[in-house]
Protein backbone atom coordinates (compact mmCIF):
# COMPACT_ATOMS: atom_id res chain seq x y z
CA UNK A 1 0.00 0.00 0.00
CA UNK A 2 2.70 2.49 1.03
CA UNK A 3 4.70 2.01 -2.19
CA UNK A 4 1.91 3.21 -4.46
CA UNK A 5 1.24 6.21 -2.25
CA UNK A 6 4.94 7.06 -2.13
CA UNK A 7 4.93 7.31 -5.91
CA UNK A 8 2.09 9.83 -5.81
CA UNK A 9 3.80 11.80 -3.04
CA UNK A 10 7.02 12.02 -5.05
CA UNK A 11 5.19 13.85 -7.85
CA UNK A 12 4.35 16.78 -5.58
CA UNK A 13 6.60 19.80 -5.85
CA UNK A 14 6.17 21.45 -2.45
CA UNK A 15 7.78 22.31 0.88
CA UNK A 16 5.71 19.68 2.59
CA UNK A 17 3.02 17.25 1.49
CA UNK A 18 1.12 14.35 2.93
CA UNK A 19 -1.26 11.81 1.51
CA UNK A 20 -3.90 9.77 3.28
CA UNK A 21 -5.59 6.87 1.60
CA UNK A 22 -8.54 5.32 3.38
CA UNK A 23 -10.68 2.28 2.97
CA UNK A 24 -14.00 2.57 4.68
CA UNK A 25 -16.26 -0.35 5.46
CA UNK A 26 -19.72 0.30 6.74
CA UNK A 27 -22.36 -2.16 7.85
CA UNK A 28 -25.71 -0.61 8.60
CA UNK A 29 -29.17 -1.86 9.49
CA UNK A 30 -32.21 0.28 10.28
CA UNK A 31 -35.63 -0.48 11.63
CA UNK A 32 -38.55 1.91 11.49
CA UNK A 33 -41.09 0.52 13.86
CA UNK A 34 -41.35 -3.18 13.03
CA UNK A 35 -40.31 -2.58 9.46
CA UNK A 36 -36.76 -3.31 8.37
CA UNK A 37 -35.79 -0.19 6.47
CA UNK A 38 -32.29 -0.97 5.29
CA UNK A 39 -29.53 -3.49 5.64
CA UNK A 40 -26.19 -3.79 3.93
CA UNK A 41 -22.43 -3.76 3.97
CA UNK A 42 -20.49 -1.40 1.77
CA UNK A 43 -16.97 -0.50 0.87
CA UNK A 44 -15.64 2.81 -0.40
CA UNK A 45 -12.25 4.48 -0.60
CA UNK A 46 -10.48 7.67 -1.51
CA UNK A 47 -7.53 10.00 -1.09
CA UNK A 48 -6.72 13.29 0.60
CA UNK A 49 -3.55 15.22 -0.24
CA UNK A 50 -2.34 18.28 1.65
CA UNK A 51 0.34 20.59 0.30
CA UNK A 52 2.37 23.32 1.96
CA UNK A 53 4.15 25.60 -0.48
CA UNK A 54 5.53 29.14 -0.17
CA UNK A 55 3.66 29.62 3.08
CA UNK A 56 0.27 28.47 1.79
CA UNK A 57 -1.45 25.26 2.89
CA UNK A 58 -4.14 23.59 0.80
CA UNK A 59 -5.92 20.27 0.50
CA UNK A 60 -7.64 18.21 -2.17
CA UNK A 61 -9.70 15.05 -2.02
CA UNK A 62 -10.52 12.64 -4.81
CA UNK A 63 -11.78 9.11 -5.23
CA UNK A 64 -10.28 7.91 -8.49
CA UNK A 65 -6.56 7.24 -8.74
CA UNK A 66 -6.51 8.62 -12.27
CA UNK A 67 -7.57 12.02 -10.92
CA UNK A 68 -4.44 12.27 -8.75
CA UNK A 69 -2.47 14.38 -11.19
CA UNK A 70 -5.19 16.99 -11.63
CA UNK A 71 -5.80 17.05 -7.90
CA UNK A 72 -2.11 17.61 -7.16
CA UNK A 73 -1.97 20.45 -9.68
CA UNK A 74 -4.89 22.14 -7.94
CA UNK A 75 -3.43 21.61 -4.49
CA UNK A 76 -0.06 23.11 -5.42
CA UNK A 77 -1.65 26.04 -7.22
CA UNK A 78 -4.01 26.73 -4.33
CA UNK A 79 -1.20 26.58 -1.80
CA UNK A 80 0.72 29.12 -3.88
CA UNK A 81 -2.28 31.46 -4.10
CA UNK A 82 -2.91 31.21 -0.36
CA UNK A 83 0.78 31.76 0.34
CA UNK A 84 0.94 34.87 -1.83
CA UNK A 85 -2.19 36.39 -0.29
CA UNK A 86 -1.58 35.64 3.37
CA UNK A 87 0.14 38.08 5.66
CA UNK A 88 1.71 35.37 7.73
CA UNK A 89 3.38 32.37 6.25
CA UNK A 90 1.71 29.11 7.25
CA UNK A 91 4.12 26.73 8.92
CA UNK A 92 3.68 23.39 10.61
CA UNK A 93 4.94 22.82 14.14
CA UNK A 94 7.74 20.26 14.35
CA UNK A 95 6.68 16.82 15.52
CA UNK A 96 8.21 13.44 16.11
CA UNK A 97 7.97 11.33 12.94
CA UNK A 98 6.56 7.81 13.27
CA UNK A 99 6.56 4.65 11.22
CA UNK A 100 3.97 2.38 12.73
CA UNK A 101 1.27 -0.09 11.90
CA UNK A 102 -1.27 0.10 14.71
CA UNK A 103 -4.26 -2.16 15.10
CA UNK A 104 -6.67 -1.48 17.95
CA UNK A 105 -7.29 -4.09 20.56
CA UNK A 106 -10.82 -5.23 19.74
CA UNK A 107 -12.51 -7.55 22.19
CA UNK A 108 -14.73 -8.80 19.38
CA UNK A 109 -14.26 -7.55 15.82
CA UNK A 110 -17.66 -6.51 14.42
CA UNK A 111 -16.43 -7.27 10.91
CA UNK A 112 -16.24 -10.91 11.87
CA UNK A 113 -19.79 -11.04 13.16
CA UNK A 114 -22.33 -12.21 10.61
CA UNK A 115 -24.81 -9.55 9.52
CA UNK A 116 -27.70 -11.91 10.40
CA UNK A 117 -26.58 -11.86 14.03
CA UNK A 118 -26.35 -8.05 14.00
CA UNK A 119 -29.87 -7.99 12.60
CA UNK A 120 -31.14 -10.32 15.34
CA UNK A 121 -29.68 -8.20 18.15
CA UNK A 122 -31.03 -4.99 16.67
CA UNK A 123 -34.43 -6.58 16.23
CA UNK A 124 -34.45 -7.74 19.85
CA UNK A 125 -33.75 -4.25 21.22
CA UNK A 126 -36.19 -2.67 18.79
CA UNK A 127 -38.91 -5.08 19.89
CA UNK A 128 -38.25 -4.24 23.53
CA UNK A 129 -38.91 -0.59 22.70
CA UNK A 130 -42.02 -1.29 20.62
CA UNK A 131 -43.64 -3.58 23.13
CA UNK A 132 -46.12 -1.09 24.65
CA UNK A 133 -49.37 0.35 23.27
CA UNK A 134 -48.24 3.94 23.78
CA UNK A 135 -45.07 3.49 21.76
CA UNK A 136 -46.06 4.40 18.23
CA UNK A 137 -42.75 4.19 16.48
CA UNK A 138 -39.04 3.67 16.68
CA UNK A 139 -36.07 4.35 14.50
CA UNK A 140 -33.34 1.98 15.55
CA UNK A 141 -30.07 1.57 13.68
CA UNK A 142 -27.08 -0.67 13.97
CA UNK A 143 -23.79 0.42 12.46
CA UNK A 144 -20.22 -0.65 12.41
CA UNK A 145 -17.73 1.46 10.64
CA UNK A 146 -14.06 0.89 10.02
CA UNK A 147 -11.59 3.39 8.72
CA UNK A 148 -8.40 1.73 7.52
CA UNK A 149 -6.04 4.70 7.22
CA UNK A 150 -2.67 4.91 5.49
CA UNK A 151 -0.77 8.10 6.10
CA UNK A 152 2.48 9.17 4.46
CA UNK A 153 4.30 12.47 4.55
CA UNK A 154 7.32 13.96 2.81
CA UNK A 155 8.91 14.11 6.29
CA UNK A 156 9.00 10.33 6.31
CA UNK A 157 5.92 9.41 8.34
CA UNK A 158 4.41 6.03 7.43
CA UNK A 159 1.49 5.18 9.63
CA UNK A 160 -1.44 2.87 9.28
CA UNK A 161 -4.14 2.64 11.90
CA UNK A 162 -7.59 1.17 11.98
CA UNK A 163 -10.49 2.81 13.75
CA UNK A 164 -13.44 0.52 14.26
CA UNK A 165 -16.65 1.92 15.75
CA UNK A 166 -19.77 -0.05 16.61
CA UNK A 167 -23.14 1.16 17.82
CA UNK A 168 -26.88 0.83 18.06
CA UNK A 169 -28.75 4.06 18.37
CA UNK A 170 -32.26 5.24 17.85
CA UNK A 171 -35.33 7.08 18.90
CA UNK A 172 -38.39 5.83 20.69
CA UNK A 173 -41.60 7.75 20.03
CA UNK A 174 -44.58 7.67 22.33
CA UNK A 175 -48.00 9.21 21.80
CA UNK A 176 -51.07 9.98 23.85
CA UNK A 177 -53.78 12.04 22.22
CA UNK A 178 -52.01 14.98 20.65
CA UNK A 179 -48.87 14.63 22.69
CA UNK A 180 -45.92 13.03 20.94
CA UNK A 181 -42.66 12.52 22.82
CA UNK A 182 -39.37 11.01 21.76
CA UNK A 183 -36.38 9.73 23.61
CA UNK A 184 -32.99 8.64 22.34
CA UNK A 185 -31.39 5.33 23.23
CA UNK A 186 -28.02 3.96 22.30
CA UNK A 187 -25.12 1.66 23.10
CA UNK A 188 -21.74 1.26 21.45
CA UNK A 189 -18.03 1.87 21.57
CA UNK A 190 -14.68 1.74 19.86
CA UNK A 191 -13.27 -1.48 21.24
CA UNK A 192 -15.52 -4.13 19.80
CA UNK A 193 -18.85 -5.77 19.25
CA UNK A 194 -19.20 -6.87 22.89
CA UNK A 195 -20.51 -3.37 23.67
CA UNK A 196 -23.63 -4.29 21.75
CA UNK A 197 -24.44 -7.56 23.47
CA UNK A 198 -26.63 -7.96 26.55
CA UNK A 199 -27.81 -4.35 26.75
CA UNK A 200 -31.56 -4.98 27.06
CA UNK A 201 -31.84 -2.90 30.24
CA UNK A 202 -30.79 0.31 28.42
CA UNK A 203 -33.71 0.01 26.02
CA UNK A 204 -36.19 -1.04 28.72
CA UNK A 205 -35.28 2.04 30.74
CA UNK A 206 -35.57 4.42 27.81
CA UNK A 207 -38.91 2.98 26.77
CA UNK A 208 -40.23 3.68 30.24
CA UNK A 209 -39.03 7.27 30.06
CA UNK A 210 -40.75 7.76 26.69
CA UNK A 211 -44.02 6.57 28.22
CA UNK A 212 -43.61 8.55 31.46
CA UNK A 213 -42.96 11.74 29.46
CA UNK A 214 -46.51 11.59 28.10
CA UNK A 215 -47.76 12.43 31.59
CA UNK A 216 -45.02 14.91 32.42
CA UNK A 217 -45.67 18.62 32.32
CA UNK A 218 -43.87 20.91 29.88
CA UNK A 219 -41.21 22.79 31.82
CA UNK A 220 -41.98 26.44 32.51
CA UNK A 221 -39.56 28.81 30.77
CA UNK A 222 -37.32 30.77 33.10
CA UNK A 223 -34.06 30.73 35.01
CA UNK A 224 -33.25 27.80 37.27
CA UNK A 225 -30.44 26.33 39.27
CA UNK A 226 -30.01 22.84 37.83
CA UNK A 227 -28.32 19.54 38.52
CA UNK A 228 -27.33 18.07 35.19
CA UNK A 229 -26.41 14.42 34.75
CA UNK A 230 -23.12 13.11 33.25
CA UNK A 231 -24.57 12.97 29.75
CA UNK A 232 -25.50 16.66 29.90
CA UNK A 233 -22.26 17.58 31.67
CA UNK A 234 -20.51 15.94 28.72
CA UNK A 235 -22.54 17.88 26.16
CA UNK A 236 -21.92 21.14 28.02
CA UNK A 237 -18.20 20.41 28.26
CA UNK A 238 -18.06 19.51 24.58
CA UNK A 239 -20.42 22.08 23.07
CA UNK A 240 -20.02 25.14 25.20
CA UNK A 241 -16.38 24.86 26.23
CA UNK A 242 -14.69 22.21 24.08
CA UNK A 243 -15.26 23.84 20.73
CA UNK A 244 -13.53 26.99 21.93
CA UNK A 245 -10.56 24.92 22.99
CA UNK A 246 -10.21 23.99 19.34
CA UNK A 247 -7.62 26.39 18.00
CA UNK A 248 -9.02 26.41 14.46
CA UNK A 249 -12.34 27.75 15.75
CA UNK A 250 -11.01 30.69 17.71
CA UNK A 251 -8.10 31.62 15.46
CA UNK A 252 -10.30 33.86 13.32
CA UNK A 253 -12.40 35.25 16.13
CA UNK A 254 -10.13 37.93 17.64
CA UNK A 255 -12.53 38.82 20.47
CA UNK A 256 -12.96 35.19 21.47
CA UNK A 257 -9.23 34.64 21.24
CA UNK A 258 -8.58 37.51 23.61
CA UNK A 259 -10.87 35.90 26.18
CA UNK A 260 -9.47 32.42 25.63
CA UNK A 261 -5.88 33.32 26.59
CA UNK A 262 -4.01 30.59 28.40
CA UNK A 263 -3.93 31.50 32.08
CA UNK A 264 -7.31 33.26 32.01
CA UNK A 265 -9.57 32.47 34.96
CA UNK A 266 -12.72 31.51 33.07
CA UNK A 267 -14.54 29.12 35.34
CA UNK A 268 -15.26 28.54 38.97
CA UNK A 269 -12.39 26.90 40.90
CA UNK A 270 -14.29 23.64 40.85
CA UNK A 271 -13.92 23.20 37.11
CA UNK A 272 -11.24 20.89 35.71
CA UNK A 273 -11.47 19.77 32.10
CA UNK A 274 -9.35 17.25 30.19
CA UNK A 275 -9.28 15.86 26.68
CA UNK A 276 -7.59 12.50 26.44
CA UNK A 277 -7.77 10.40 23.24
CA UNK A 278 -5.37 7.85 24.74
CA UNK A 279 -7.97 6.42 27.18
CA UNK A 280 -8.07 2.76 26.19
CA UNK A 281 -11.48 1.32 25.38
CA UNK A 282 -13.22 4.71 25.24
CA UNK A 283 -15.13 5.85 22.18
CA UNK A 284 -12.77 8.69 21.33
CA UNK A 285 -9.62 6.56 21.39
CA UNK A 286 -6.94 6.82 18.70
CA UNK A 287 -3.17 6.53 18.70
CA UNK A 288 -2.31 8.81 15.77
CA UNK A 289 -4.34 11.66 14.38
CA UNK A 290 -4.85 12.26 10.66
CA UNK A 291 -1.64 14.24 10.31
CA UNK A 292 0.47 11.52 11.87
CA UNK A 293 0.81 13.12 15.32
CA UNK A 294 0.69 10.83 18.34
CA UNK A 295 -2.28 11.68 20.54
CA UNK A 296 -1.80 12.77 24.15
CA UNK A 297 -3.76 13.76 27.23
CA UNK A 298 -4.32 17.52 27.44
CA UNK A 299 -5.43 19.40 30.53
CA UNK A 300 -7.59 22.22 29.20
CA UNK A 301 -8.87 23.79 32.39
CA UNK A 302 -7.37 23.57 35.87
CA UNK A 303 -9.28 25.04 38.82
CA UNK A 304 -11.20 27.21 36.41
CA UNK A 305 -8.08 28.51 34.70
CA UNK A 306 -7.54 27.90 30.98
CA UNK A 307 -4.29 25.93 30.73
CA UNK A 308 -4.38 24.11 27.40
CA UNK A 309 -5.75 24.05 23.90
CA UNK A 310 -6.33 21.48 21.17
CA UNK A 311 -4.17 21.92 18.10
CA UNK A 312 -3.23 20.86 14.64
CA UNK A 313 0.37 21.27 13.53
CA UNK A 314 -0.60 24.44 11.70
CA UNK A 315 -2.44 26.08 14.60
CA UNK A 316 0.17 24.97 17.14
CA UNK A 317 2.80 26.87 15.16
CA UNK A 318 0.52 29.88 14.73
CA UNK A 319 -0.33 30.06 18.46
CA UNK A 320 3.17 29.02 19.50
CA UNK A 321 1.70 26.32 21.74
CA UNK A 322 2.43 22.58 21.96
CA UNK A 323 1.03 20.17 19.36
CA UNK A 324 -1.59 17.86 20.88
CA UNK A 325 -2.51 15.34 18.17
CA UNK A 326 -6.15 16.33 17.77
CA UNK A 327 -6.48 16.71 14.01
CA UNK A 328 -9.01 14.23 12.71
CA UNK A 329 -11.08 13.76 9.53
CA UNK A 330 -14.43 12.05 9.06
CA UNK A 331 -13.12 9.94 6.20
CA UNK A 332 -11.39 10.08 2.79
CA UNK A 333 -13.60 12.94 1.67
CA UNK A 334 -12.13 15.45 4.08
CA UNK A 335 -8.92 17.10 5.17
CA UNK A 336 -8.58 16.76 8.94
CA UNK A 337 -9.62 19.54 11.32
CA UNK A 338 -9.07 20.04 15.05
CA UNK A 339 -11.40 17.74 17.01
CA UNK A 340 -11.95 16.61 20.55
CA UNK A 341 -11.20 13.00 21.48
CA UNK A 342 -12.49 12.02 24.94
CA UNK A 343 -13.35 15.30 26.66
CA UNK A 344 -14.61 15.36 30.22
CA UNK A 345 -15.10 17.43 33.30
CA UNK A 346 -13.14 15.84 36.14
CA UNK A 347 -15.21 14.52 39.05
CA UNK A 348 -15.19 16.30 42.41
CA UNK A 349 -16.21 15.17 45.87
CA UNK A 350 -19.94 15.56 46.28
CA UNK A 351 -22.31 12.61 46.36
CA UNK A 352 -25.56 12.87 44.45
CA UNK A 353 -27.44 13.37 47.74
CA UNK A 354 -25.12 16.25 48.64
CA UNK A 355 -25.92 17.84 45.29
CA UNK A 356 -29.66 17.51 45.85
CA UNK A 357 -29.36 19.10 49.29
CA UNK A 358 -27.23 21.89 47.93
CA UNK A 359 -29.64 22.56 45.04
CA UNK A 360 -32.63 22.71 47.38
CA UNK A 361 -35.03 24.10 44.73
CA UNK A 362 -34.46 23.79 41.02
CA UNK A 363 -34.43 21.24 38.21
CA UNK A 364 -32.68 17.91 37.73
CA UNK A 365 -32.04 17.53 33.98
CA UNK A 366 -31.01 14.34 32.26
CA UNK A 367 -29.60 13.07 28.98
CA UNK A 368 -28.63 15.16 26.05
CA UNK A 369 -30.74 15.79 23.02
CA UNK A 370 -28.52 17.65 20.60
CA UNK A 371 -26.57 20.81 21.20
CA UNK A 372 -25.09 23.71 19.31
CA UNK A 373 -22.90 26.75 19.95
CA UNK A 374 -22.21 30.11 18.39
CA UNK A 375 -19.41 31.92 20.10
CA UNK A 376 -20.04 32.17 23.75
CA UNK A 377 -23.69 31.19 23.43
CA UNK A 378 -24.88 27.62 23.50
CA UNK A 379 -28.17 25.79 23.34
CA UNK A 380 -28.85 22.16 24.05
CA UNK A 381 -31.78 19.94 24.81
CA UNK A 382 -32.40 17.60 27.73
CA UNK A 383 -34.48 14.50 27.12
CA UNK A 384 -36.27 14.75 30.45
CA UNK A 385 -36.05 16.29 33.88
CA UNK A 386 -37.56 16.58 37.32
CA UNK A 387 -38.55 19.44 39.52
CA UNK A 388 -36.51 19.47 42.75
CA UNK A 389 -38.14 20.97 45.86
CA UNK A 390 -36.44 21.16 49.24
CA UNK A 391 -33.77 18.78 48.01
CA UNK A 392 -36.29 16.13 46.95
CA UNK A 393 -36.95 14.92 43.41
CA UNK A 394 -40.59 15.65 42.52
CA UNK A 395 -42.59 15.56 39.28
CA UNK A 396 -41.20 14.89 35.82
CA UNK A 397 -40.95 17.70 33.26
CA UNK A 398 -40.43 17.62 29.49
CA UNK A 399 -39.69 19.80 26.43
CA UNK A 400 -36.49 21.16 27.93
CA UNK A 401 -33.97 23.27 26.04
CA UNK A 402 -31.19 25.02 27.90
CA UNK A 403 -29.41 28.11 26.69
CA UNK A 404 -26.60 30.10 28.17
CA UNK A 405 -23.39 31.97 27.89
CA UNK A 406 -20.20 29.95 28.13
CA UNK A 407 -18.26 32.22 30.47
CA UNK A 408 -21.15 32.94 32.80
CA UNK A 409 -22.04 29.25 32.93
CA UNK A 410 -18.46 28.12 33.66
CA UNK A 411 -18.46 30.54 36.60
CA UNK A 412 -21.89 29.30 37.65
CA UNK A 413 -20.78 25.71 38.18
CA UNK A 414 -21.28 25.66 41.91
CA UNK A 415 -20.81 21.98 42.77
CA UNK A 416 -19.22 18.93 41.17
CA UNK A 417 -20.27 15.35 41.89
CA UNK A 418 -18.00 12.39 42.58
CA UNK A 419 -19.43 10.04 39.94
CA UNK A 420 -18.14 9.75 36.37
CA UNK A 421 -19.43 8.49 33.06
CA UNK A 422 -18.32 8.84 29.45
CA UNK A 423 -20.65 8.52 26.46
CA UNK A 424 -20.79 5.37 24.35
CA UNK A 425 -21.88 7.06 21.13
CA UNK A 426 -20.98 10.35 19.53
CA UNK A 427 -21.80 12.49 16.58
CA UNK A 428 -20.24 15.90 16.36
CA UNK A 429 -20.96 17.76 13.14
CA UNK A 430 -18.31 20.47 12.86
CA UNK A 431 -18.48 20.55 9.08
CA UNK A 432 -17.76 16.83 9.06
CA UNK A 433 -19.25 14.10 11.21
CA UNK A 434 -17.16 12.63 14.02
CA UNK A 435 -18.83 9.41 15.14
CA UNK A 436 -16.17 8.89 17.81
CA UNK A 437 -16.63 12.20 19.53
CA UNK A 438 -16.79 11.23 23.21
CA UNK A 439 -17.69 13.31 26.22
CA UNK A 440 -18.79 12.96 29.80
CA UNK A 441 -18.17 13.80 33.43
CA UNK A 442 -19.99 13.72 36.77
CA UNK A 443 -23.30 15.20 37.95
CA UNK A 444 -22.81 18.94 38.50
CA UNK A 445 -24.84 21.93 39.66
CA UNK A 446 -25.07 24.94 37.35
CA UNK A 447 -26.73 28.04 38.78
CA UNK A 448 -28.98 30.32 36.74
CA UNK A 449 -29.43 28.30 33.56
CA UNK A 450 -31.95 29.69 31.08
CA UNK A 451 -34.54 27.06 30.31
CA UNK A 452 -36.77 27.74 27.32
CA UNK A 453 -40.22 26.33 27.83
CA UNK A 454 -43.11 26.44 25.42
Partner 1 sequence: MEKLMDIAKKHADQVEIFSIDKTNKSLKYTNDIPKDLDYKKSSGISIRLIKDGKIGFAYTKNLRDRKQLVENALKSLKGGVEAGFDFPLTKSIKNLDTYSDKINNISSEMMVKEAERITNKISSRGENETLAVVNASESSLRIINSAGSDLATKFSSYYASGNIIMKGSASSIGRMFVNKDFKKMPDKLLNEVLNLYNQSKNPVEPNGGKMKVLFMPSSSITYLWRLLSGTSGENLYKKVTPLADKINEKVFSEKLTIYNDPTNDNLPGARSFDDEGVKTKSYKLIDKGVFKKFYNNLNYAHKLDCEPTGNGFRSGMWGGDEVTLRPSPSVSHLRIQKGNSSFKDLISMMDKGIIVEGVLGAHSGNIPNGDYSVGMSPGIYVENGTIRGIAKDIMVAGNIYDTLKNIVAVGDTNYFGHGGYVPPLLCENVSVSNK
- Return the residues of window 178-197 that contact partner 1 according to CB under 8 A: 178-182
Could you say which of 19, 46, 187, 350 contacts partner 1 (CB under 8 A)? 46
How many chain residues interact with partner 1 (CB under 8 A)? Answer: 85
Candidate list 42, 105, 280, 320; residue touching partner 1; CB under 8 A: 42
Residue 401 sits in the site that holds partner 1 (CB under 8 A): yes
- Among the candidate windows 126-134, 152-160, 277-285, 367-375, which touches partner 1 by CB under 8 A? 367-375
Centre a 10 Å sphere on the Cβ of residue 360 and count the other Cβ atoms it contains: 12
Figure out which of the listed residues 101, 265, 299, 403 binds partner 1, where binding follows CB under 8 A: 403
- Cβ 265 to partner 1 shortest distance, Å: 18
Select the residue interacting with partner 1 from 277, 325, 348, 381 (CB under 8 A): 381
Q: Does 216 sit near partner 1 (CB under 8 A)?
A: no
Binding segment toward partner 1, per CB under 8 A, in 140-148, 225-233, 251-259, 416-424? 251-259
Site stretch for partner 1 (CB under 8 A), options 170-178, 197-205, 289-297, 415-423: 170-178
Q: What is the rounded distance in angstroms from the CA atom of residue 290 to the CA atom of residue 432?
A: 14
Give the footprint of partner 1 on residues 278-317 (CB under 8 A).
none
Residue 127 engages partner 1 in binding (rule: CB under 8 A)? no
Does residue number 136 form part of the binding site for partner 1 (CB under 8 A)?
Answer: yes
What is the SS3 assignment for the chain? CHHHHHHHHHCCCCCEEEEEEEEEEEEEEEEECCEEEEEEEEEEEEEEEEEEECCEEEEEEECCHHHHHHHHHHHHHHHHHHHHHCCCCCCCCCCCCCEEEECCCCCCCHHHCCHHHHHHHHHHHHHHHHCCCCEEEEEEEEEEEEEEEEEEECCCCEEEEEEEEEEEEEEEEEEECCEEEEEEEEEEECCCHHHCCCCHHHHHHHHHHHHHHCCCEECCCEEEEEEECHHHHHHHHHHHHHHHHEHHHHCCCHHHHHHCCCCCECCCCCCCEEECCCCCCCCCCCCECCCCCECCCEEEEECCEECCCECCHHHHHHHCCCCCCCEECCCCCCCCEECCCEEEECCCCECHHHHHHHHCCEEEEEEEEEEEEECCEEEEEEEEEEEEECCEEEEEEECEEEEEEHHHHHHCEEEEECCCEECCCCCEEECEEECCCEEEECCEEEEEEEEECC
Contact residue for partner 1 among 288, 364, 380, 384 (CB under 8 A)? 380
- 377 binds partner 1 per the rule CB under 8 A: yes
Stretch that binds partner 1, among 44-52, 103-111, 291-299, 388-396 (CB under 8 A): 44-52
Per-residue binding string, partner 1, 83-102, x by CB under 8 A, is --xxx---------------
CA triplet 2, 326, 188: central angle to 5 degrees? 90
Judged by CB under 8 A, which stretch of 194-202, 226-234, 363-371, 436-444 contacts partner 1? 363-371
Is 450 one of the binding residues for partner 1 (CB under 8 A)?
A: yes
Residue 114 in contact with partner 1, rule: CB under 8 A:
no
25 binds partner 1 (CB under 8 A): no
CB of 333 vs partner 1, minimal distance in Å = 7
In the list 94, 200, 255, 349, the residue contacting partner 1 (rule: CB under 8 A) is 255
Work out which of 58, 160, 237, 412 binds partner 1, going by CB under 8 A.
58
Least distance (Å) between residue 133 CB and partner 1: 13
Please report whether residue 390 would count as binding partner 1 according to CB under 8 A: no
Q: Which is nearer to partner 1, 74 or 154 (CB)?
A: 74
Amino acid sequence: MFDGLKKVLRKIDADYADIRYEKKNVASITYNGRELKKIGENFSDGYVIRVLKNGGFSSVSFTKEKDAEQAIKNAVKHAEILGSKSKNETKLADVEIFKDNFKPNLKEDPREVDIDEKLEILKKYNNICLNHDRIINTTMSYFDLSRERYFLSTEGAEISEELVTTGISGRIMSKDGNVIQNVRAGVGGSDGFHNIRGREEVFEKKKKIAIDLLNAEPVKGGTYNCIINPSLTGVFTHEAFGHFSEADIIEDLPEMRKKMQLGAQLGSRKVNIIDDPTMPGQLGFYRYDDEGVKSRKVQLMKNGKLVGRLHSRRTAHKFDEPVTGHTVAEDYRYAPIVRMGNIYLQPGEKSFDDLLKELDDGLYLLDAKGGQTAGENFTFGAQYGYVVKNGKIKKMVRDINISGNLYKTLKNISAVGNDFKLGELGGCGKGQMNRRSCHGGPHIIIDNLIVGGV
